[in-house]
Amino acid sequence: MASAEELAVIEKAKVLMVGAGGIGCELLKTLALTGFKDIHLIDLDTIEVSNLNRQFLFRKQHVGQSKAKVAREAVLKFKPDLKIEAYHANVKNSDFNVDYFRQFNVVLNGLDNVDARRHVNRLCLAAGVPLVESGSTGYLGQVTVHVKDRTECYECQTKELPKTYPVCTITSTPSKPVHCIVWAKDLLFGKLFGDKNQSSDLVVHTTDQNTSAATEDAEFFNLKDGETFESYACRVFDGVFGHNIEVALKNEDTWRARKRPRPLHINEVCSDSKRMRIDTLTSTANGSSEHTVSAARMLGLNNHQEVWSLKENASVFLQALELFHATRKKEFGSLVFDKDDQLAVEFVTAAANLRASCFDIPMQSLFEAKGIAGNIVHAIATTNAIISGLIVLEAIKLLMDSLDDCRTTYCLEYPRRRMLLMPAELSGPKSSCYVCSQTPLCLEVNTSNTKLKDIVEKIVKGKLSVNSPIIMQGSYLIYETGEDLEEDMVARYNQNLEKCLDSFPTPIVDGSILLLEDLQQEFTCSLQIKHRETFDEEKEPDNMVLSGKFSTAARDQTSLGLVQPAVDNNPIQAIEDDDEVILVGDAAKSGIKRKSLEEDAVVSGKRQRTEAS
């Protein structure tokens, strides 16, 4: 229970919640019951059936509606005096700009992706609003606090990314179940039902006289005139699991150090007479709607946790392929694998298992295969409730101005030292962080009548003394100079110089950020553009105003991945020698001050973060 002092602060606080999903529902409820009165809520998603088991503010009748809006209504029912503004929108929408963020005392994240987290992190840094960041994956979760210039920002530590696999492993030399599942859902499924024009390296091409003619033919995966669904399905089976493996076996060098795969043919797996088969056409004619069609159910395979036998996998494969042709034909060409598409999951499970069998890799149950294919970690409502409680505790500490008491808290699966919740001290900002280590310069300018040329001459060369500038906007290079440039590049840049800022293909407008570098000098800074209509001719003859401080220090190369730290467990070594020269004020009253940035005092060990919510 909050103290009277805390309660007073809580009641006056204005908070922004980003995300109204697993963590968001719990969080909104906890905020309301704690006494928060003024809450903004942003979520772009609509409610799905699979949310209902844990996102308890939603009911079956809400499926398809905005998460933010339904969550608001549900909470207002038991706390009618709250002020909740709900936005069914993407937080990256430009309406939610720095000025929007500035109105809040604290921002609370309950997001499910790195991209949106980065965006919110940057806006919070720019607006100077503290951020409570959170995530949960199954039993695991964490809550942490990011305050500009006081703690690490979200991007100070690189995040672990979902793994991708080299094409060769997937197409030629799988060794784990996941390789077979990726093959089945990305390559085979795409080839059969997806966009035919998309290039894929699934098919083993050959000109060998004896083995040619099967799957290298672009028509191979198409149903031929007069071909029955059944004979088509058998032909695909033999091509993909038989012929293609036989062709691959000819690459002797590949198998010198690996186990040779074994080709599979349908008649060896289950002979014609013994094949499990239900007549597709008659059974689907009985009114089952498209997305409830299930090959496994037709074959009596109802236990999704059980691993099918080779013969059962073969039957599901054939049956699912036939069903796709019989019931889903109009979606062909645009189908992509979706974990909520039952028939697709069955097909991918069977195909992956058949391939696994060729390569002597363990087979998976439908439940397991679906989890791997859809990157699903089953969410646990209790974890989300714990995480939300922790978010509110950290938010209260921030509102009470006790940042020293804030902690990163990890929620563990098994107790460690008899504790399930592990608090850890917050780390200071990383001087090498690309995102929070430097404050962008601010350039006020009329973006609709100022040309890039004006900025290059008056600001970049005039005030910042950049010799051979390189200007980038996001991923786009908009200006470079130098003897080494090709003529076509020079011509393009000369055209750019004459363009007004807001007429670039990606317009440079209020809020845009330009990255400025020098080819020769180790100089880098970012320039935040602020649009202003008019300027005082006498006091501001340039018709633009530059303000802020900038650093001329070489960027820490480790942060760009250019240098591999020699000793992994000694991060100090990689970031030593990181003094920074800071020029304060604009050109008129500039003075140079040398400041040695405090090194991160605490060397934190390898920490895990979980990304989903």
Partner 1 sequence: MATGLAQARLAEERKSWRKSHPHGFVAKPEAQPDGSLNVMLWRCTIPGKEGTDWEGGSFPLSLQFSESYPTKPPVCAFPAGFFHPNVYQSGKVCLSIINEGDGWKPSISVKQILMGIQDLLDTPNPASPARHEAYLLFIKNKTAYKRKIVEQAKKYPSLP
Cα-based distances in Å from 544 to 220, 513, 547, 550: 64, 16, 10, 18
- Specify the residue, 163 or 418, whose C-beta has the smaller distance to partner 1: 163
Cα-based distances in Å from 598 to 87, 541, 603: 40, 39, 13
How many helices (H) and strands (E) are present in the chain, helices listed first? 21, 17
Q: How far apart are CA 145 and CA 533, in angstroms?
A: 38
Task: Label residue 65 exposed, middle or buried (CB < 10 Å: 0-12, 13-18, 19+).
Answer: middle
116 is in an annotated binding site: yes
Report DSSP state, residue 205. P
22 is in an annotated binding site: yes
**204 contributes a contact to partner 1 by CB under 8 A:** yes
Q: How far apart are CA 144 and CA 133, in angstroms?
A: 5
Catalytic center residues: 168
Q: How far apart are CA 281 and CA 311, in angstroms?
A: 22
Interacting span for partner 1 (CB under 8 A) from 60-68, 146-154, 203-211, 277-285: 203-211
- Specify the residue, 257 or 601, whose C-beta has the smaller distance to partner 1: 257
Residue 441 and residue 548 in contact, taking contact as beta carbons nearer than 8 Å: yes
Report DSSP state, residue 561. T
Residue type, 530: K
Q: In the range 61-120, which residues lie near partner 1 by CB under 8 A?
A: 115, 118-119
Interacting span for partner 1 (CB under 8 A) from 2-10, 15-23, 39-47, 204-212: 204-212
Ordered strands of the 591-595 beta sheet: 550-551, 580-584, 591-595
Please identify which residue in 60, 77, 256, 589 interacts with partner 1, judged by CB under 8 A. Answer: 256
Q: In the range 548-587, which residues lie near partner 1 by CB under 8 A?
A: 555, 559-564
Q: How far apart are CA 141 and CA 153, in angstroms?
A: 18
- Specify the residue, 141 or 548, whose C-beta has the smaller distance to partner 1: 548
> β-strands 513-518, 469-473: how paired?
antiparallel
- Specify the residue, 105 or 526, whose C-beta has the smaller distance to partner 1: 526
Interacting span for partner 1 (CB under 8 A) from 31-39, 131-139, 160-168, 404-412: 160-168
- Specify the residue, 320 or 501, whose C-beta has the smaller distance to partner 1: 501
Closest to 434 measured CA to CA, from 551, 546, 582: 551
Q: How far apart are CA 76 and CA 84, in angstroms?
A: 8
117 is in an annotated binding site: yes
Handedness of CA 450, 452, 453, 459 (dihedral sign): positive
**451 contributes a contact to partner 1 by CB under 8 A:** no
Please identify which residue in 200, 283, 365, 446 interacts with partner 1, judged by CB under 8 A. Answer: 200
**432 contributes a contact to partner 1 by CB under 8 A:** no
Interacting span for partner 1 (CB under 8 A) from 305-313, 329-337, 421-429, 487-495: 487-495
C-alpha atoms less than 13 angstroms from C-alpha of 110 in its C-beta half-sphere: 30
Q: What track of x and - describes contact with partner 1 for positions 500 through 529 (by CB under 8 A)?
A: ----xxx-----xx-x-x-x----x-x---
**253 contributes a contact to partner 1 by CB under 8 A:** yes
Binding site residue list for ATP: 19-24, 43, 51-54, 67, 112-117
Residues that bind partner 1 (CB under 8 A): 115, 118-119, 122, 155, 158, 161, 163-168, 171-173, 199-201, 203-208, 247-248, 250-251, 253-254, 256-257, 434, 470, 472-478, 480, 482, 484-486, 488-489, 492, 495-496, 504-506, 512-513, 515, 517, 519, 524, 526, 555, 559-564
Task: Please give the annotated binding residues, written as ranges.
Answer: 19-24, 43, 51-54, 67, 112-117, 153, 156, 433, 436
